[in-house]
């Protein structure tokens, strides 16, 4: 039966506070855990982060970084038009087919078709983006490029694939 007089805190949950300034034999005498003399031993004596005692701080010794790296950049996987010559005439090529044929390394990243090389087959290609020259070469052979229709606010490639 649990009663009020038998309740105890969990072991280790209540820690005894240090008794400071009670002589050297207590282990917390002399400077009472404040170290030696000086600014840091005083009440309210704190040093701002990065201060090195008057020496030029590291943050000012290092050169300034130049340029800009866009954190929202989309890492497209690129496939050239000449790679599609291995597929059968009239077939449909999408991200799954490209992955199975090892033309791309990941299924969850957007794919862009580039116009390097010549195309000899009529294909229907589904991709996230396509260069103008690649689209012209595919359509010149009677094929078509299917790109996702996105709202103006969404960037291409931010759509999750069902693959």
Residue 40, φ and ψ in degrees, nearest 5? -75, -15
Residue 2 lies in a domain: no
Give dist(CA 56, CA 58) in Å, integer. Answer: 7
Q: Which pTM was predicted? A: 0.52
Residue 88 lies in a domain: yes
Which residues touch 120 (CB under 8 Å, ≥6 apart)? 85, 141
pLDDT for 84-127, tens place per residue?
A: 999 999 999 999 999 999 999 999 899 999 999 999 999 999 99
Residue 120 lies in a domain: yes
Residue 55 lies in a domain: no
CATH number at residue 121: 3.100.10.10
Give dist(CA 129, CA 114) in Å, integer. Answer: 9
Residue 20 lies in a domain: no
How many independent structural domains does the chain possess? Answer: 1
- At 98, list the tokens: 């490209």
Most confident of 66-75, 133-142, 151-160: 133-142
Q: In what order do the strands lie in the sheet with 144-146?
A: 92-93, 124-126, 144-146
């Amino acid at each position: 039966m649990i009663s009020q007089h038998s309740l105890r805190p969990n072991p280790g949950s209540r820690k005894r506070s240090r008794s400071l300034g009670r002589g050297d034999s207590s282990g917390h005498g002399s400077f009472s855990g404040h170290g030696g003399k000086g600014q840091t031993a005083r009440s309210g004596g704190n040093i701002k982060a990065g201060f090195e005692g008057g020496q030029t701080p590291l943050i000012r010794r290092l050169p300034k970084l130049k340029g800009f790296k866009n954190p929202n950049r989309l890492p497209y996987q690129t496939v050239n038009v000449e790679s599609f010559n291995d597929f059968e005439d009239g077939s449909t090529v999408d991200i799954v087919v490209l992955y199975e044929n090892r033309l791309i390394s990941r299924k969850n990243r957007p794919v862009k078709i580039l116009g390097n090389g010549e195309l000899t087959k009529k294909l229907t290609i589904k991709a996230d983006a396509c260069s103008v020259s690649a689209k012209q070469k595919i359509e010149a052979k009677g094929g078509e490029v299917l790109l996702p229709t996105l709202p103006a606010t969404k960037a291409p490639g931010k759509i999750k694939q069902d693959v």
